[in-house]
DNA sequence: TAGTAGTCCACAATCTTAGTAGGATAGTGT
DNA sequence: ACACTATCCTACTAAGATTGTGGACTACTA
């Protein structure tokens, strides 16, 4: 399951996508409209900024905005960034790979199945962008 | 990601599948062969027993064994039992559904995508059984 | 230079995960 | 009946993740 943090991140990004090219949006505005705890949202947006998804402007007239156009930000990227691995097993993850202890990948029945699950999931989340979230 | 507990559960079930119809298997044997902490494994097997996946026999010559044949135990069932929801969002889960707070499911962009992810995943894990884990 | 708004660091409460301890209970063989 | 064996059960703990909060600092704008 996606963490609350991830769900908040998507709600915020959704909001910023809808307001894309309308200039910086206040954290407080996003927090209020999307009902996200203000300080928690601060942390999340800062993280997204450090990952080059968002950019910000300080002072009056400031706020957060998308750094790239919404079509260019994949859902998979956000999940990996905020939530972590998409795969169900470490030994199957493309971005967070870890060798299975006491389990030979070549003869592990779970392994192959989880590769399939991973690919089925990626086929969806790698091909959707923030733009697809706003209908 | 599947928890360690879930991974242990699958390893144990894999072992019991391989030994299906060979009579009860000691917890200690499974723990040793699959390198799972003994007492932790006890809890896991007990849980699987309560869920009617396993059955057990006490005393000398006792141990654990599959209650049903391996072909009849779906991977999805085990994941839900030991790990929890398969879906990425509560509002998309079939077995652990919870309404989304502050988010209308009909107009939530994430919702529809996560329904797709769920279905793609279920298509795999609902159609594989313990038998498929042992190659 | 006053006010606004993001930045950054540290902390805290709560929950989950991963395991451990030890005795109770029930079945087996002699 | 008795000793032995193996599961059953409750409770506990330590560590880590999650979900926040508080407060000072920095940068920008008018």
Q: Nearest C-alpha of chain B: how many angstroms from A25?
A: 20
Chain segment B74-128, per-residue pLDDT in tens: 999 999 999 999 999 999 999 999 988 777 777 788 999 999 999 999 999 999 9
For chain B, give the longest Cα–Cα distance.
Answer: 60
Mean pLDDT of chain B: 96
User: Which residues does strand C reach (CB under 7 angstroms)?
Assistant: A 24-28, 39, 42-43, 45-46, 49-50, 56-64; B 3-5, 8, 37-40, 42-43, 57-62, 84
Asked if A113 reaches chain B (Cβ–Cβ under 8 Å), the answer is yes
pLDDT average, residue stretch A68-89: 98
* Predicted pLDDT at B45: 98
Average pLDDT over every residue of A111-125: 97
The overall average pLDDT reported for chain A is 96
Kindly give, in sequence order, each residue whose CB lies less than 8 Å from that of residue A119, ignoring residues fewer than 6 positions away. Answer: none
- In terms of pLDDT, which residue wins out, A101 or A83? A83
Least CB–CB distance from A1: residue in B10, B88, B128: B88
Give the DSSP H/E element, type plus range, for residue A18: helix A4-18
Q: Give which of B18, B84, B66, B125 is closest to A107, Cα–Cα.
A: B18
pLDDT score at A108: 85
Mean pLDDT score, A109-124: 96
The conformation of residue B129, written as its DSSP 8-state character, comes to: B
pLDDT at A107 over 90: no
Q: Do B110 and A85 touch (CB under 8 A)?
A: no
pTM: 0.95
Chain B interface includes A47 (CB < 8 A): no
Kindly report the number of other CB atoms within 10 A of residue A97's CB atom.
12
Q: What is the pLDDT at residue A39?
A: 98
Distance in angstroms: CA A63, C1' D18: 26
């Amino acid at each position: 399951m996606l963490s609350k943090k991830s769900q908040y991140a998507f709600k915020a990004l959704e909001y910023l996508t809808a307001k894309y090219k309308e200039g910086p949006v206040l954290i407080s505005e996003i927090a209020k409209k999307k009902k996200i705890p203000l300080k928690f949202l601060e942390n999340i947006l800062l993280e997204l900024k450090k990952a080059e998804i968002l950019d910000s402007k300080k002072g009056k007239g400031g706020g957060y905005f998308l750094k790239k156009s919404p079509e260019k930000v994949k859902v998979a990227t956000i999940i990996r960034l905020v939530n972590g691995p998409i795969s169900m097993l470490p030994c199957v993850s493309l971005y967070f790979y870890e060798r299975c202890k006491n389990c030979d990948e070549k003869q592990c029945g779970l392994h192959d199945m989880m590769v399939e699950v991973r690919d089925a999931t990626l086929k969806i989340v790698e091909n959707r962008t923030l733009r697809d979230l706003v209908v």
